[in-house]
């Protein structure tokens, strides 16, 4: 997912690519090359302003790619240095259509973190899709950064294991990008964050050195845990080229329940009851509101399997004994139905039906893209507060917004607040921001729970982090990337004070 700012005399790329080639040339010839795309130069970006802090900053004074540089890349990567504008066209728009860029790797991010802003050279890891090792005693997988998450999941399921993370974009996102952005997703409630499950990384630093911390040990307290620097730093401190990760056993039984609640308060009470009664087999507790369901029905022609409700819950259990799990789930459902916490529900134990129920949660993002333009917010809050923000925002925006919808990970206190409009609307944006960030900050929430800051949210960091912390982040960036050539304009704010 790393994107490289082109730099005079290309000391970075040459060292990096040579290092990669040297390292893998013996046994991994089919995947040892990185795809370099040369983005056509756009001089966009008038700079972020108080009214538009997500705008691109002015281009920094990096030099431009010369014909000599291109000749060098072509020698290094014959047939893989792409500069033809027509060939680049299909890659120049990311899937949200908000940034004109040439993406690489999965390009499934939501904050413009994986796309170049000006004429940065793109380094794609999409050919680095090899599983290096898998140990079926420990469950530790080591693979290259360009492996697609779903491919890894399939690989592991054949071996009776699963990936510790799962997300809607699994069909295209890369594990290197997942780690670079510290992706959360649908299984975090059960298996924890990548900060715990990632055991090792191989990272290429800004000066071309390879940092080999690709350990496959559950515990290692020898010195500082350097890999943590690269998890979630969006490629601004180094480029992740390989990952080792601890994978759980594949559960023998999986059940999914899709339930309706008449209020968010009842949803929260259902959550509390669920944690107590399902305990260690609970693997997901997700929600969507009625507005999300309308969009799923309207744009994707999905069918609501239960009676209409203001709120819908997806609960997944995963365990080692089908009979026990069904008994626990049955008792729980009996409890929430008789106490009227839940108004209607359906349960699936068969794979196809499970997938269908999950798609009601996973495809909300996709349904939203059909609405015109979507302003997306990914907020962490104390769980009892998460829907207050949606309701407050509806009142605050009134008729200005086409839709204000909420869905997300109740178990993690993570709300996806989405506001739609027929097209980009600066007046609407001005009504949303900084209001939404001030609201979040007031409740000590995070303005980016799992999406990262990327380009779009970089200047809002102070709503969630004190200036001492941001200053220290700046020092870390300066230490690891003194020339600022790794994924510029991302993660850190334009001004560090």
Report the side by side order of strands in the sheet with 239-246. 131-135, 140-144, 239-246, 198-204, 210-213
DSSP strand pairing (35-38 vs 81-82): parallel
Q: Are 228 and 480 in contact (CB under 8 A)?
A: no
Which of 61, 223, 422, 426 is close enough to bind a second copy by CB under 8 A? 223
User: Contact region for a second copy (CB under 8 A) — 68-76, 257-265, 307-315, 440-448?
Assistant: 440-448
Pick the closer one to a second copy by CB: 298 or 330: 330
**Binding test (CB under 8 A) with a second copy, winner from 159, 192, 438, 495:** 192
To a second copy, the closest distance from the beta carbon of 482 in angstroms equals 11
Q: Does 60 bind a second copy (CB under 8 A)?
A: no
Please state, in angstroms and rounded to a whole number, the distance separating the CA atoms of residues 249 and 137. Answer: 10
User: What distance in Å separates the CA atoms of residue 479 and residue 87, rounded to the nearest whole number?
Assistant: 37
Minimum distance of a second copy from residue 139's CB (angstroms): 9
Encoded tokens for 467 = 């200036």
Q: Give Cβ neighbours of residue 15 (< 8 Å, ≥ 6 apart).
A: 207, 208, 209
User: For a second copy, which stretch binds (CB under 8 A), given 18-26, 70-78, 341-349, 459-467?
Assistant: 459-467
C-alpha pair distances (Å), 358 with each of 258, 284, 303, 352, 406: 9, 11, 12, 10, 17
Q: Which of 216, 262, 304, 359 binds a second copy (CB under 8 A)?
A: 216
CB of 479 to a second copy, least distance (A): 5
Helix, strand, coil % in the chain, rounded to nearest 5: 35, 20, 40
> Exactly one of 97, 137, 352, 395 binds a second copy (CB under 8 A); which one?
137
Footprint of a second copy on 170-189 (CB under 8 A) = 181-182, 184, 188
CB of 163 to a second copy, least distance (A): 16
Q: Using CB under 8 A, which residues numbered 228 to 287 contact a second copy? A: 228-229, 231-233, 237, 249, 251-252, 272, 275-281
Examine residue 322 and tell whether it contacts a second copy (CB under 8 A): no
| Options 18-26, 64-72, 145-153, 462-470: segment touching a second copy (CB under 8 A) | 462-470
Kindly state the number of chain residues that form the binding site for a second copy, as judged by CB under 8 A.
Answer: 89
Among 313, 318, 368, 401, binds a second copy (CB under 8 A): 318
According to CB under 8 A, which one of 43, 75, 90, 222 is a site residue for a second copy?
A: 222
Q: How far is the CB of 291 from a second copy (least distance, A)?
A: 23
Q: Tell me: does residue 487 bind a second copy (CB under 8 A).
A: no
The DSSP output letter for 40 is P
| Residue 362 or 450 having the CB closest to a second copy | 450
Residue whose CB is less far from a second copy, 6 or 328: 328
Q: Does 320 bind a second copy (CB under 8 A)?
A: yes
Paired residues of 242 in beta bridges: 144, 202
Position 135 contacts a second copy (CB under 8 A): yes
Which CB atom, from 197 or from 418, has the smaller least distance to a second copy?
197
| Binding of residue 215 to a second copy (CB under 8 A) | yes
Q: Which of 404, 380, 381 is nearest to 392 (CA)?
A: 404
Nearer to a second copy, 357 or 453 (CB): 453
CB 261 within 8 A of CB 310: yes
Measured between alpha carbons, how far is 425 from 429 in angstroms, rounded to an integer?
6
How far apart CA 256 and CA 348 sit, in angstroms, is: 5
What stretches of 192-321 show up as alpha helix (H) in DSSP?
A: 194-197, 227-230, 264-278, 290-300
CA atoms within 13 A on the CB side of 432: 24
- Near a second copy by CB under 8 A, which window of 83-91, 146-154, 304-312, 450-458? 450-458
Following DSSP, what letter does each residue of 61-111 receive, concatenated? Answer: SPPPPPHHHHHHHHHHSTT-EE--HHHHHTTSB-TTSSSB----TT---SS
From 96, 99, 162, 211, residue interacting with a second copy (rule: CB under 8 A)? 211
Q: In the complex with a second copy, which residue's Cβ is closer, 255 or 421?
A: 255
Alpha-carbon distance of 420 to 402, in angstroms, equals: 5
Binders of a second copy among 343-372, rule CB under 8 A? Answer: none
Q: Which of 323, 321, 345 is nearest to 333 (CA)?
A: 345
DSSP states along 424-460: --HHHHHHHTTHHHHHHHHTT-BSBSSS--TTTTGGG
Parallel, antiparallel or unpaired: strands 140-144 and 210-213: unpaired
**Could you tell me which residues come within 8 angstroms of residue 489 by beta carbon, excluding any fewer than 6 positions away?**
56, 57, 60, 117, 455, 458
383 binds a second copy (CB under 8 A): yes
For the bound state, the minimum distance from the C-beta of residue 417 to a second copy, rounded and expressed in Å, comes to 14
Q: Does 87 bind a second copy (CB under 8 A)?
A: no
Out of 31, 70, 213, 302, which residue is the one contacting a second copy (CB under 8 A)?
213
Interface with a second copy by CB under 8 A: which range of 3-11, 98-106, 365-373, 448-456? 448-456
């Amino acid at each position: 997912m790393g994107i490289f700012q082109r730099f005079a005399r290309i000391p970075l790329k040459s060292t990096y690519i040579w290092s990669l080639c040297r390292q893998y040339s013996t046994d991994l010839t089919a995947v040892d090359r990185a795809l370099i795309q040369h983005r056509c130069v756009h001089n966009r970006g008038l700079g972020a302003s108080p009214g538009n802090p997500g705008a691109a900053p002015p281009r920094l004074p990096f030099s431009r790619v010369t014909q000599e540089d291109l000749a060098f890349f072509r020698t290094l990567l014959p047939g893989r240095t792409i500069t033809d504008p027509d060939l680049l066209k299909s890659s120049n728009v990311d899937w949200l259509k908000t940034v004109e860029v040439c993406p690489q790797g999965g390009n499934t991010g939501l904050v413009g973190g994986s796309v170049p802003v000006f004429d940065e050279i793109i380094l794609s890891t999409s050919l680095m899709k090899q599983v290096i090792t898998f140990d079926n005693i420990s469950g530790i997988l080591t693979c290259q950064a360009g492996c697609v998450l779903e491919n890894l999941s399939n690989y592991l399921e054949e071996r009776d294991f699963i990936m510790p993370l799962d997300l809607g974009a699994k069909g295209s996102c890369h594990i290197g990008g997942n780690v670079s952005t510290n992706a959360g997703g649908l299984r975090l409630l059960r298996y924890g964050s990548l900060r715990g499950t990632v055991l090792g990384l191989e990272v290429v630093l800004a000066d071309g050195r390879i940092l080999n911390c690709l350990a496959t040990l559950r515990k290692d307290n020898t010195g500082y845990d350097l890999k943590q620097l690269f998890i979630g730093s969006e490629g601004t401190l180094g480029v992740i080229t390989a990952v080792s990760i601890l994978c759980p056993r594949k559960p023998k039984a999986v059940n999914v329940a899709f339930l309706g609640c008449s209020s968010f308060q009842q949803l929260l009470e259902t959550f509390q009851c669920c944690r107590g009664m399902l305990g260690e087999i609970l693997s997901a507790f997700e929600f969507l509101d009625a507005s999300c369901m309308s969009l799923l029905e309207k744009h994707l022609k999905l069918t609501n399997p239960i009676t209409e409700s203001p709120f819908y819950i997806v609960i997944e259990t995963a365990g080692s004994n089908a009979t026990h799990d069904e008994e626990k789930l049955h008792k729980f459902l009996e409890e929430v139905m008789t106490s009227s916490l839940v108004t209607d529900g359906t349960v699936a134990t068969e794979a196809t039906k499970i997938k269908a129920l999950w798609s009601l949660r996973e495809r909300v993002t996709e349904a939203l893209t059909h609405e015109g333009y979507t302003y997306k917010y990914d907020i962490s809050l104390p769980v009892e507060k998460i829907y207050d923000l949606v309701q407050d925002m509806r009142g605050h925006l009134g008729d200005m917004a086409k839709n204000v919808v909420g869905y997300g990970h109740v178990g993690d206190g993570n709300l996806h607040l989405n506001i739609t409009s027929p097209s980009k609307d600066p007046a609407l944006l001005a009504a949303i921001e900084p209001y939404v960030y001030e609201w979040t900050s007031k409740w000590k929430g995070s303005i980016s729970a799992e999406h990262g800051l990327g380009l779009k949210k970089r200047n809002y960091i102070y709503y969630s982090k004190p200036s001492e912390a941001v200053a220290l982040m700046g020092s870390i960036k300066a230490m690891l990337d003194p020339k600022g050539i790794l994924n510029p304009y991302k993660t850190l704010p334009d001004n560090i004070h």
